[in-house]
Amino acid sequence: MYDFNYKRASSVDDATASVAEADEGKFVAGGMTLLPTLKQRLAQPSDLVDLADLGDLVGITVNDSTVTIGAMTPHAVVNASADVQKAIPALAKLAGLIGDPMVRNRGTIGGSISNNDPAADYPSAVVGLGATVHTNKREIAGDDFFVGLFETALEEDELVTKVVFPVPDKAAYMKFPNPASRYAIVGTFVSQGPQGTRVAVTGAGSHVFRQSDMEAALEANFASEAVENIKQDDSDLNTDIHASAEYRAHLVTIMAKRAVAEANG
Amino acid sequence: MSGAKMETPMTTTTVSMTVNGKQVSADVENRTLLVQYLRESLGLTGTHVGCDTSQCGACTIYVNGLPIKSCTMLARQADGAEVTTIEGLADGDTLHPMQEAFRENHALQCGFCTPGMVMSAIGIVERNKDSLDEKTVRHELEGNFCRCTGYHNIVKAILAAHKEMTA
Ligand SMILES: Cc1cc2nc3c(=O)[nH]c(=O)nc-3n(C[C@H](O)[C@H](O)[C@H](O)COP(=O)(O)OP(=O)(O)OC[C@H]3O[C@@H](n4cnc5c(N)ncnc54)[C@H](O)[C@@H]3O)c2cc1C
Ligand code: FES
Ligand code: FES
């Protein structure tokens, strides 16, 4: 690992100012993506600004219509939250499918969505539930947040503070994990509720996307039969040693079908 | 030859924490990993490094009451923390119930994964005090790789220790 300057931010303003002032500053949250990247020397930030002391960014608030999760809330806390399990069980379940218990004890929702790995789980929930991402500067609709491979709408010194998820009438997440890394080869999040009928797909493309043919079909009839014959176009999907684009396209339909069945309970 | 970054002398900082009940401190670079701090600065070599990719779990220890991968945390991030490593489990000559269960159930062969397995296994029992079944153990062992045992006896040991620890 290359060396870097390190500081623990004392407030959100201190964190963003420190990153803005540095040559190449980076926030560090759980470090579950950033530190492996640094260990491989795939990045060389001049400064790491640790968000660990920003207690205001940790926590979950649930009311009748929303679940709000602070950016620094670890996956394990979301997974174990009785309030989340009650309001949006699909979200609690998704958090429990990320990595392994040690990764879930450190990794955070803010880090996961800011990193926007094409195979990450949380982006599918943000888009699949029509959530809103709050930052120190503004509110960004989930649909506008993920813009490309490892690319988000965030500016360099912009910090995610929390994510607000509208409570759906029904929702479910189905993931076909890579058996070694447990990242999604394909994951499909479906929901119906205040944000309409949504089908968000992760793992398959450069970043999470909505499957509009399936959304239209489910809008008319929210049943797994409605999606089982809808084929995903594979022309823009990922091919790697784990799965071909064609196979991923096939999995999109299968995962959607299973997710709808689970959402209907 | 080397770039500007290589020529800059590395700054070191004193990092202090409580490890296995003892107050310790050492000077480290900002990039020093917690596992290096434990192994190289403190000589606690029970915690192992099995991979470069944060996947194998051999380095699992407890920080502030939770199992984490010490190869994926900076020593500086653990400044002021409460740390427990495999060396801190036994009470004198009496093994921790999880260590004893591993011994009794032949849950190790080469032993390389074992310190991380034991720490992670204690986490599994703590998260599932009321009831624990084989499926849950296998799911929650996802972050710990063993190249020898085939996991079967590790799962048996954890279920046995669960009984012992929650009796
Ligand atoms: C073995 C292993 C398995 C994994 N498996 C999965 C998996 O199955 N599914 C999955 O989705 N993920 C998986 N992950 C990734 C994990 O979920 C990470 O926790 C997550 O992607 C990053 O969160 P973090 O808090 O660790 O962020 P960090 O690693 O600390 O940061 C990641 C990036 O986000 C930026 N950042 C962090 N917080 C903020 C913020 N609040 N505002 C703006 N920018 C911020 C950082 O600057 C950095 O660029 C795995 C990781 C490991 C090591
Ligand atoms: S050495 Fe830490 S996960 Fe492999
Ligand atoms: S006993 Fe050899 S790796 Fe597990």
ipTM of the complex as predicted: 0.94
Q: Per-residue confidence at B143, pLDDT binned at 50, 70, 90?
A: very high
Site from A6, A100, A117, A181 to mutate, B interface, most B CB atoms within 10 angstroms? A100
* A117-to-A51, A94, A155, B127 alpha-carbon distances in Å: 20, 15, 17, 28
A 10 A CB-CB count for A209 gives 20
Query: For the residues A103-123, what does the mean pLDDT come to?
Result: 98
Q: How far is the CA of A235 from the centre of ligand 1 (A)?
A: 28
For B151, the 3-state DSSP assignment is: coil
pLDDT at position B9: 60
d(CA B37, CA B8): 22
- What one-letter code names the amino acid at B103? R
**Tens digit of each residue's pLDDT (9 = 90 or more) over B79-109:** 999 999 999 999 999 999 999 999 999 999 9
Cβ neighbors of B110 (< 8 A, separation 6 or more) are: B147, B148
Q: Per-residue confidence at A181, pLDDT binned at 50, 70, 90?
A: confident
Which residue stretches of chain B are H helix?
Answer: 4-7, 34-36, 97-104, 114-127, 134-140, 152-166
Q: Which residue of A has its CA nearest to B72?
A: A35
**Tens digit of each residue's pLDDT (9 = 90 or more) over B115-140:** 999 999 999 999 999 999 999 999 99
* B72-to-A132, A180, B60 alpha-carbon distances in Å: 30, 18, 10
Range(s) within chain B of domains with CATH label 1.10.150.120:
97-166
Range(s) within chain B of domains with CATH label 3.10.20.30:
4-88
Q: How far is the CA of B87 from the centre of ligand 3 (A)?
A: 18
Domains present along chain A, CATH in parentheses: 1-53 (3.30.43.10), 170-263 (3.30.390.50)
Q: Which residues of A touch B36 (CB under 8 A)?
A: none
**Tens digit of each residue's pLDDT (9 = 90 or more) over A211-236:** 999 999 999 999 999 999 999 999 99
Distance from CA of A54 to the nearest CA of B (A): 13
- Given a contact cutoff of 8 angstroms between Cβ atoms, the answer to whether B4 and B23 are in contact is no
Q: Per-residue confidence at B3, pLDDT binned at 50, 70, 90?
A: very low
Q: Which residues of B touch A (CB under 8 A)?
A: 5, 8, 10-11, 13, 29-31, 33, 52-55, 57, 60, 66-69, 71-74, 76-77, 120, 123-124, 127, 140, 142-144
Q: Which residues of A touch B142 (CB under 8 A)?
A: 99-101, 182
Angle at A71 between CA A66 and CA A77, to 5 degrees: 75
CATH tag, B97-166: 1.10.150.120
Q: How far is the CA of A251 from the centre of ligand 2 (A)?
A: 31
pLDDT at position B8: 57
Q: Which CATH superfamily is domain B4-88 in?
A: Beta-grasp domain (3.10.20.30)
Q: Which residue of B has its CA nearest to A35?
A: B72
A 10 A CB-CB count for B74 gives 26
Assign 3-class secondary structure to A9-57.
Answer: CCCHHHHHHHHHHCCCEEEECCCCCHHHHHHCCCCCCCEEEECCCCHHH
pLDDT at position A133: 98
**Residue keyed to tokens 């040559």:** A23
**Tens digit of each residue's pLDDT (9 = 90 or more) over B29-85:** 999 999 999 999 999 999 999 999 999 999 999 999 999 999 999 999 999 999 999
Distance from CA of B5 to the nearest CA of A (A): 8
DSSP string for B104-149: HTT--SS-SSHHHHHHHHHHHHHHTSS---HHHHHHHTTT---SSS
d(CA A216, CA A256): 13
- What one-letter code names the amino acid at B11? T
Q: How far is the CA of B143 from the centre of ligand 2 (A)?
A: 9
